[in-house]
Copies of this chain bind each other. A is one copy, B any other.
Amino acid sequence: MFIELDLQSETPIYTQLVDQIVEGIACGALQPGEQLPPIRSLAEDLGINLHTVNKAYNLLKQEGLLQVHRKTGVIVQPGEMPGVTEAFEEKLRRQLRSLAAAAAVRGMAEEVFAQESRSVYRDIITNRGGE
C-alpha cells in the first residue's frame, strides 16, 4: 500500500487516511472499481486501530467515493464519480478563502497563490496518464 501516516501529526489519523485515499483516486493509483484492502488488514499494516480505518472508509462512502459491501469488501466507486456539487463548491471556497487570507496577509501575491494552487493540482494529476 502507498499510504504513509504521520502519527505525530496533529491532524487526526482518519483524516490523513481519507486525504491519501482521495489523492490515490485522483492520481489514478486507485482505479474505479478497484478493490481496497479489508479494514482489518489495512489497520494491521498501518499499525493503527481498526475503528480508525473504518471511520475513514465510511466518510469516503458517504462522499460517494467508495462502495462498501459486506461480502465483496471495499471498492473505489466504479463509473459515476460524485461530481462538483454546489455543497462541495461552497466548502471548497470556504477553505480556500482561509488559505488565501493567510497568504495575502503574509504578502504572497495573487499570481503566486494561483500558481501555487495550479502546481499542487498538477503534481497530483501528473501521474494519471501512466497507469
**A residues within 8 Å of B by Cβ?**
7-8, 10, 12, 19, 22-23, 25-27, 62, 65, 67-70, 72, 81-85, 88, 92-93, 95-108, 110, 113-118, 120-125
Closest chain B residue to A82, Cβ basis = B106
Are A120 and B104 in contact (CB-based, < 8 A)?
A: no
Are B84 and A106 in contact (CB-based, < 8 A)?
A: yes
Q: How far is the CA of A72 from the CA of B65 in the complex (A)?
A: 31
Closest Cβ of chain B to A40, distance in Å, is 18
What copy number does this chain have within its complex? 4
Closest Cβ of chain B to A116, distance in Å, is 7
Are A96 and B84 in contact (CB-based, < 8 A)?
A: no
